[in-house]
Structure formats: C-alpha cells, structure tokens
Amino acid sequence: MTAVNLLDFDLDALASWCAQIGEKRFRAQQLFRWIHQKGQADFEQMTDLARSLREKLAAHAQVRALVPTSEHRSADGTVKWLFDVGGGNAIETVYIPEDDRGTLCISSQAGCAVGCRFCATGHRGFSRNLTTGEIVAQLWHAEHTLRRQLGLAAGERAITNVVMMGMGEPLQNYGALVPALRVMLDDHGYGLSRRRVTVSTSGMVPMIERLREDCPVALAVSLHAPDNALRDALVPLNRKYPLAELMQACSDYLERAPRDFITFEYCMLDGVNDSPEQARALVELVNGRGPAAVPGLRVPCKFNLIPFNPFPDSGLACSPRERVQAFARVLQEAGIVTTIRKTRGDDIDAACGQLAGEVRDRTNVRVRLQRRRDGGVEAVPTAAELRA
C-alpha cells in the first residue's frame, strides 16, 4: 500500500482518514497541529500521540514535503525557492518581506495553459496541475524554514499573507486549490484570515462563482485591458469569458467576499494598454458604462498597476514611469484606489510575471513561438500589432 501524503488533507479529510484507521477526530486535530503549526514530519517526535497511532502513521502515512533544488535571496530580502515536482518539472515560490507582513507567492500548476501574452510562465507552456499536498508544501517549507532562519518564538508567524499568484491559473486546478486554502485558513493549521489569502485569476468565470460558495477569500483578477479586443489578444481566456461576464462574476463574488472590493491587476505595457484614453475606458468599465460593461453595474475595486518585467521572446516593453504615473492619476481622480506595485526580487527573477520554473510542456508553446519567429500562421500578436 502506498503511504498517503498527509499534506494532501484538509482537517475534515484528515479526520475521515483517521476514522478509517480507527482513530477519533481529536487525534486528527492533534496530528494536524503537529504537521502545520509545528512543522513536524517525524511521527516519533509527535509525543502526545499514542504509540499505537504513531505506529499506524509510520506504516500508512508520511509528510511528503517538497525539497528545494535552489534558494535565491535578493538584496531587498525577497527569497525565491525552486522545487522539483518530478517528471522534469520544477515550480517557483517567492517570499516577500515587508515591515508589517510577510507574503508568500504560491504556485498552483507546473506551467500555465492560459498563455497570457506578458507572462513568462505562459511562455514555458503547461505540464500538469499540482496536488493539494504540493500546494500546501510550499507554505509548509517557507513557514518553518523562515521561522528557524529568523529565530521566531513559538506562535510567531513568518508568513502572514498568501497570494495564489505564482505559476499557473489557480482556478483551473480547483479541486486541489480549495482543500489547500482550507488548510491555510484552519485555526489548527496556519490560521490565516480570509482577508489575507488571495486567489488571483485571469477570469475563470464559472470557477469564480464556485469559489464564492465554497471558500470565499480575497480575489484578484488579471485585467490588463479595458476592452474585449485588446484583452482577447493579451489574455486569451477573454474569448471564452468576455469582460461583461467577468464584471458580473466579480460583482456577485463581493456578496460573500471577506473584502468589499476586487483587486484588478493591470500590467503596464509600453504603447499597448497604457494611454490616458485606456485609463478612462477602465473607469467607464468598472462603473457600468461603455461597450464592454454590464450597463449600470458598478464593481467596487482597487487597481494594482504592475510594471512589466521583460523576458526573452516577449516582444514587449515596460511603460515609462511617467506614463504609469499619469495612468494612475486618471484612475485616482475618478475615485478609484490605485497603487503602483513596487518591484521586488528583480535581481533573482522573482518579480511579478517572471516566474518560469522548468516545465515539460504538453502544449507545444515553444513550437508555436518558433513558428511565429519563422513567420508561420500561428503567430502570437507582436507589440506593434497589439498597438494597432
């Protein structure tokens, strides 16, 4: 019998598994705390568990963590880990320290199938979804490694915020994502607030609706364009779920969300989506006006403007700082809270949009990009074409 990985279980699932081996729920709670609160993987060290239970665990279970193949530290304190997840695939996880919080950026897939035009992960292609255990293991490793490195006292947390903004589209891996979120939120686990756990999506409308019912946490949406034509080119998922459907889903999500606004992420691309006219079109969109909007539907929101981080073969450039600031002013003058993301981890390729890892691509992205370079018919739009 293959040993189960206890990192795959939220508390309810762990309690069900414990019942199968003849143990009561309170034993599952004890075990859950040992694993997630204390970072213990050795059952023999779980001293308040009965000897009989420890023997069962040794025979049938394990805490199968991810082992980092590399760890890189930026001059600004950012840490990036590369984890081998087998089959020629590796994922990246990033820790971002700030004065009042420690944020962990977690991956949900090996690669990404969405193929956003400006994202390094999408240019590597897609291999597979991560398991719940592989998602949770990123937090398990980061939290307990950093506690030791920072010399934190018992009960002090290194990670106060989690953002599902690493490699992959989280809502395309829904079945593994939701149990992982429940582990993060559980008071017997990491005890994070729903306000401090954020799922970022490129616009999976049906799954936004499911998340609202199953496990509503903070929501961030990769928007990047004020109209359907441009968003179709930048975020191919928009062809399936256009802006009106996305705005409606965002509005509905707020009925159950822990925050009273949606965060819209907006990558600033030189000459593509960064004009004052496009900023004004965004104001119209979120206020229920304009051709792409749901008439009269206002979506309470904040905008996070992200300076683009160039990578090989992207064919795109970052908007000049003055243009980013002018874009932000248009939104702010319309009463929309707008921030410009501070670039972190540039020197270790850990900034937003740079996570690439290693992927055994099943989607032939590299082949299609080569055809583009060779003038083939499957060309991805160039920056000049996007501007047109």
Percent of the chain residues past pLDDT 70, beyond the cut: 90
Considering the domain architecture, whether residues 74 and 201 belong to the same structural domain is answered as yes
Considering the domain architecture, whether residues 56 and 75 belong to the same structural domain is answered as no
Q: How many CA atoms lie within 13 A of 198 on its CB side?
A: 22
pLDDT of residue 61: 98
Class of residue 66 by CB neighbours under 10 A (exposed 0-12, middle 13-18, buried 19+): buried
- Catalytic-residue membership of 116: no
Examine the pLDDT at 377 and tell me if it is beyond 50.
no
Considering the domain architecture, whether residues 203 and 314 belong to the same structural domain is answered as yes
Class of residue 160 by CB neighbours under 10 A (exposed 0-12, middle 13-18, buried 19+): middle
pLDDT of residue 366: 64
Residue-wise burial string across 354-363, b where 16 or more C-beta atoms lie within 10 A, e elsewhere:
bbbbbbebeb
- Catalytic-residue membership of 112: no
What digits encode the pLDDT tens for the residues 302-348?
999 999 988 877 889 999 999 999 999 999 999 999 999 887 666 65
Number of folded domains that form the chain: 2
Considering the domain architecture, whether residues 39 and 84 belong to the same structural domain is answered as no
Considering the domain architecture, whether residues 42 and 179 belong to the same structural domain is answered as no
CA–CA distance, 113 with 30 (Å, rounded to integer): 39
pLDDT of residue 221: 98
pLDDT of residue 1: 59
Considering the domain architecture, whether residues 98 and 192 belong to the same structural domain is answered as yes
Contact 350, 344 (CB under 8 A): yes
Considering the domain architecture, whether residues 56 and 93 belong to the same structural domain is answered as no
CA–CA distance, 7 with 132 (Å, rounded to integer): 7
> Rg of the chain's alpha carbons, rounded to an integer?
22
Considering the domain architecture, whether residues 268 and 198 belong to the same structural domain is answered as yes
Considering the domain architecture, whether residues 38 and 141 belong to the same structural domain is answered as no
CA–CA distance, 165 with 94 (Å, rounded to integer): 10
Considering the domain architecture, whether residues 122 and 252 belong to the same structural domain is answered as yes
Q: Which two tokens stand for residue 333?
A: 């003058």
Write the CATH number for 197. Answer: 3.20.20.70
Considering the domain architecture, whether residues 177 and 49 belong to the same structural domain is answered as no
Cα–Cα distances in angstroms (integers) from residue 311 to residues 91, 354, 355, in the given order:
17, 7, 10
Last residue of a domain, one of 62, 81, 99: 62
Average pLDDT estimate for 215-242:
97
Catalytic residue among 23, 92, 134, 169: 92
Beta-strand ranges (E) seen in 223-350 are 262-268, 301-307, 337-340
**pLDDT bracket for residue 116 (50, 70, 90):** very high
- The pTM for the full model equals 0.93
Considering the domain architecture, whether residues 197 and 166 belong to the same structural domain is answered as yes
pLDDT of residue 361: 78
Last residue of a domain, one of 62, 92, 110: 62
Q: Give the CA-trace dihedral at 224, 216, 285, 325, to 10 degrees.
A: -50
Write the CATH number for 51. Answer: 1.10.150.530
Contacts (Cβ under 8 Å, ≥6 apart) of 53: 23, 27, 31
Give me the domain span that covers residue 204: 68-387
CA–CA distance, 369 with 314 (Å, rounded to integer): 10
Catalytic residue among 116, 250, 301, 352: 352
